[in-house]
Structures are given as structure tokens and as C-alpha cells.
Amino acid sequence: MDLGTVRSHLSRAHFNHYQSVEEFVADIHLVFTNCDTFNPVSCCDIFVVCFLVLESNGLCFNVNCEDRLEG
């Protein structure tokens, strides 16, 4: 899952792809989990910031952002 796929699921052609907000959030969760899994620690500081912003807004992704920022 990537943000391009999420974007296409939100397009008019796939307007009814998400049946609930929870399905959308699950896909966003998967995007960020995949980023954490498949990218080296020093690779993507912007994703670390995104994780922190999302978590500060009540979305928990079970990713240790503090370790990434320190690493």
C-alpha cells in the first residue's frame, strides 16, 4: 500500500472504495507501517515527523519515532 493507491481509491473512479473512515485510516496506517518496515532508519525524516503528527492527533501506529529521530 502506498499513498498513490490511497489517492486512487479516493478518486471518482473508485469513489465507493472506502465504506467507512476506519477503512481509510487502516490504509493510511498500512502506508506508514510499510514505510517504517521497508526504509532504513536514516532515510526518511519526513515520515518520522508525519508519524509524530498523526500520533499526536490520536492515531497510534506502534512505531518508535523517538528512536528514529535520535538515530
* Cα gap 34→3, rounded to integer Å: 11
- Please give the full DSSP string across the chain, using - where no structure is assigned: --HHHHHHHTSGGGTTS-SSHHHHHHHHHHHHHHHHHHS-TTT-HHHHHHHHHHHHTT------HHHHHH-
pLDDT of residue 23: 92
Q: Give 16-58 pLDDT, tens digit per residue.
A: 899 998 899 889 888 877 877 776 666 667 667 777 777 776 6
pTM of the model: 0.60
> Domain locations in the chain?
3-70
pLDDT of residue 62: 57
Q: Which amino acid is residue 2, in one-letter code?
A: D
